[in-house]
Amino acid sequence: MTGFDLMLMGICIISNTTNCDRNRSLLIDEKRYDWENDMKVVDLSTATQKPKSKDENSLPEVMKITTLDMSPYSSIYELNGKTMGNVTSYAFYIFDLISKKFNITYEIVMPDQEIFGDNKTGVIGLLHEKKVDMAVAFLPINPHMYPYVSYSPMLTQIELKAMMKRPDISAIGYRLFTPFTKQVWILIIIAVIISVPIFFGIIFLRSYLWKHSNTDNYTFLQCAWFTYGSILKQGSTINPKTDSNRVLFASWWIFVTIITIIHAANLTAFFCIPKLTLSYHSITDIVNDNREWSSTSEHYIDYAVKQLEIKELENLKTSFENNNGRFINKPSDEEILKIMYEDGKIYLGDGNHFQQMIKKDYLKNVREQKPQNERCKYVIMPEIIYKQPVAFAYPKDSLYQEKFDKQLRNLVEFGIIKHLEQRKLPLVPYCPLKLNENVSRRNNRKAALTRKNKIKRTRVSSNFKICKSRGKNRKPAFTRNLTRILPFVYPINNYFDSQPSTSNQSPTRQSVMNKKIIYNGREYLEIDTPRRTGKRLIPTRSLSALLFQYYP
């Protein structure tokens, strides 16, 4: 109907008009199609389908599910002789939300072997034989199992990491060569070796182009000593005069200055900043070092090494075949910590579980009032070994997969599963790789090394002071005639200089003509030479002053 027809109908109703048949042509369009008057067509279109007793996709009142006891992902408990799922675990928290929405209950059927299994054993075997309707556990997605089971959308990725005993010192050490890596030191040595022939070649070429000029014509040995002396910041006696040589040598000095500044700054940072660096940064480093490792049997690492063909874990599989790895059957947290602390092995597993273990151990040490440096005994390798995708699973061609997958996909997209993982983790990281200054005092070895260096410097300076004081108080062992003083200024031959002096000259140190002057930023004592033929400058407050001895 059009809007005009509706308006006319409203007018008829309001006016209580009973004779509206005469205006029927205004309300109803008489031009109807022929098939609209055919009752057979109308009966076929309005006939209801035969009701079914049960919808094919309807969920049963009681679902049979299987699971694994793998806290915190899935855990179970016994209640009145019946196995129940613990809603504090991730998997059953999710399944409990969906089951309440669908108003269903469940019955847990445990596999004969509590493992992930294959098409004949474990959880996968029950699904393949269709003895259960669903697997409520974080099962690793295995492409080889696609012909036997169907996986739900990926729920999350479990980060597999390595945990070990915290080393006493950093892997980089506290040596003189610490600031630079091995490659940098090799490049510096190569630069020193190459620069010598380059300097000599440029100097020789300049001399050749200037018709064999003898100016700044340095030998190969002189170039080598200049390069070596500059890298040690000892200076050189070479004083080039030509522009090409001055630019060449200045460029090398700039390079050496940059290297030494970076080395000194990094060395200071390594001594002052309490930063721990591990010896291992990937699974390849652990395998190449032939380090022994352990992991939980029939868990993610075990399943990935034995059944999954993962490129990132090929080295780990080779290490296991060489008897460097061992899988332990359901160890407790205390047993895992004991393996790392007493046996010195590396433990591979779930990174979130490792954080909870470290938190419990740290709080235990705090309650026992242990010293601060003994509370953080373990450390987790920051790098991730592998990210294992996990999901629920169904039998092949399951009738309930579509409904559950829709709900699971919504939970993943809303971030509910990520929220569950973060809720179980500590709010702050316990015993991180880099401890704060108020948590970790300076390492004893670093402090001892600093004290030793300070004592050495004090001893050297004390020895110099003692030698200087003894030199001042020492009386001359020889006569004055054996000491010869060369004036800085050449004397001018004068008649009066050849005549004997009639005045009694006072000692040099007591002469009223002596005075102190500052020249080029250094303090000198200006004295008159014998017979006053010139003046001489004696450095003061310097070790070189020990070389000068004067007598009246």
Q: For residue 114, give the amino acid letter.
A: E
Sheet holding 535-539, edge to edge: 515-519, 522-528, 535-539
pLDDT of res. 47: 40
Average pLDDT, the chain: 77
pLDDT of res. 203: 84
pLDDT tens string 195-209: 888 888 888 888 888
For residue 296, the surrounding DSSP H or E stretch is strand 293-296
Average pLDDT of 454-463?
70
**Rg of the chain's alpha carbons, rounded to an integer?**
46
pLDDT of res. 424: 82
Average pLDDT of 255-284?
79
Q: pLDDT confidence of 225, banded at 50, 70, 90?
A: confident
Contact 96, 411 (CB under 8 A): no
Q: pLDDT confidence of 468, banded at 50, 70, 90?
A: low
Q: pLDDT confidence of 436, banded at 50, 70, 90?
A: low
Query: To 10 degrees, what angle do helices 401-413 and 90-102 make?
Result: 120
Q: For residue 328, give the amino acid letter.
A: I
Contact 343, 309 (CB under 8 A): no
DSSP states of 442-480: PPHHHHHHHHHHHHHHHHHHHHHHHHHHHHHHPPPSS-G
Give percent of the chain above pLDDT 90. Answer: 30
Cα angle 275, 276, 278 (rounded to 5 degrees) comes to 150
Query: To 10 degrees, what angle do helices 401-413 and 416-424 make?
Result: 60
Average pLDDT of 226-253?
79
Average pLDDT of 37-43?
44
pTM of the model: 0.59
Question: Measuring CA to CA, how many Å separate 290 from each of 8, 324, 443?
Answer: 94, 7, 28
Instruction: Answer with the residue of higher pLDDT: 276 or 107.
Output: 107
Q: pLDDT confidence of 40, banded at 50, 70, 90?
A: very low
Would you state the structure tokens that stand for residue 107, as one six-digit string? 């019955």
Would you state the structure tokens that stand for residue 3, as one six-digit string? 């809007």
pLDDT of res. 33: 45
Query: Is 43's pLDDT higher than 80?
Result: no
pLDDT of res. 405: 94
C-alpha 106/C-alpha 89 separation (Å) is 16
Query: Is 511's pLDDT higher than 50?
Result: no
Determine how β-strand 62-66 pairs with β-strand 134-140.
parallel
Determine how β-strand 346-350 pairs with β-strand 293-296.
parallel
Q: 134: number of CA atoms within 13 Å, CB side?
A: 26
pLDDT tens string 378-423: 999 988 999 999 999 999 999 999 999 999 999 999 999 999 888 8
Question: Measuring CA to CA, how many Å separate 222 from each of 108, 226, 231, 376, 521?
Answer: 87, 6, 14, 56, 31
For residue 379, the surrounding DSSP H or E stretch is strand 378-380
47-56, 328-337, 525-534: least confident range: 47-56
Query: Is 268's pLDDT higher than 60?
Result: yes
For 248, other C-beta atoms within 10 Å of its C-beta total 20
Q: pLDDT confidence of 340, banded at 50, 70, 90?
A: very high
Instruction: Answer with the residue of higher pLDDT: 144 or 27.
Output: 144
C-alpha 36/C-alpha 49 separation (Å) is 21
Query: Is 159's pLDDT higher than 70?
Result: yes
pLDDT of res. 136: 95
pLDDT of res. 35: 41
99-103, 273-277, 408-412: least confident range: 273-277
Q: pLDDT confidence of 265, banded at 50, 70, 90?
A: confident
pLDDT of res. 111: 93
